[in-house]
A and B are shown apart, each in its own frame.
Chain A
Amino acid sequence: MNIGQDMIDATTDVFSTMLMMDLVVGDPVEGKGGEILSNITSMLGLGGDIRGMLAVHCPAKVAMAITGGFLGMDVDELDEDVKDAIGEIANMVAGNLKVAFAGYDLKIELAIPTSIVGESYRVGGMLGARRVAVPFNMEDGQFLVELKYIVNS
């Protein structure tokens, strides 16, 4: 299993297909570290042969740029459209990862994404979970895709 590369492939596919945007990929981080200062996080739960969570963490400027690209208009506040758009990014990345996990004979199910907005928050960990985080850079800044998971025995 090369989950870091799977996360890179899953995320770059979403951005190149839906936004026609080529991302600059950072080095995957396994375990602790790599956090970025974010203003919005969209996450969804994973079930089935694994249990876990996929999260997309974005600074405001990046989230608004992604949403503007989706909607074809300027976006200048973290409104419901932004929460919805980043949630869809998380949903599509998770959908691609579902295909990747199927290649490891792991069948996963996806929950519906949830988005939170704030200035100072922390997304708690899962005890015993493996964590992989990948930073991605675009013109407006950096965002982070984070996966925490435990393979059910």
Chain B
Amino acid sequence: MGNNVLLVDDSSTMRKIVGRSLRQAGLDFDNIYEAADGLLALEVLEKESVDIVLSDINMPNMDGISFLREKANRANMKDIPVFMISTETGDDIIGEAKALGAKGAIKKPFTPDMVNEILGPFLK
């Protein structure tokens, strides 16, 4: 596919599961970067070339909503697309994420097929 993805989640287990789900969905990336919270995600985006971000919402230090807000203020990364992967499904919080630029959301728990259904059309 020739793209780089950044996985943002405070759970290392969940980052591994999301990475495996991407591969099982046939969405192979050249590089999979990982960050444990929004602050660390911003550091990765400052240093690396990333094509798409998959981010949790509830995280310590900087949550997914604050990450979106901060990212939107940085010209060098504001256009990198973000999809939320979270247990949060409420219209209010997902609506806030979308208002801040998130392209969509995947609810935990998920299957590789569900990941493909959301991300596949965007990546083609």
Across the interface, do B11 and A95 meet the contact criterion of CB distance under 8 Å? no
A111→B57 CA distance, assembly (Å): 11
Shortest distance between the CB of A151 and any CB in chain B (Å) = 18
Shortest distance between the CB of B17 and any CB in chain A (Å) = 6
Across the interface, do B90 and A102 meet the contact criterion of CB distance under 8 Å? yes
Closest residue of B by beta carbon distance from A81: B13
A92→B107 CA distance, assembly (Å): 9
Within 8 A of B (CB), among A88-129: 88, 91-92, 94-96, 98-99, 102, 107, 110-112
Instruction: Give the dominant DSSP class at B's interface.
Output: loop
Closest residue of A by beta carbon distance from B15: A84
Within 8 A of B (CB), among A62-101: 67, 70-72, 80-81, 84-85, 87-88, 91-92, 94-96, 98-99
Contact with A along B73-109 (1 / 0, CB 8 A): 0000000000000111110000000000000000111
Choice from B60, B89, B110, B111 contacting A99 with Cβ under 8 Å: B89
Q: Max chain A CB contacts within 10 Å: which of B20, B108, B109, B111?
A: B109
A17 at the interface (CB under 8 A from B): yes
Shortest distance between the CB of B36 and any CB in chain A (Å) = 11
A8 at the interface (CB under 8 A from B): no
- Nearest first, the 8 closest Cβ-Cβ pairs linking A and B are A95-B87, A17-B109, A85-B13, A18-B109, A84-B13, A14-B109, A88-B11, A92-B108
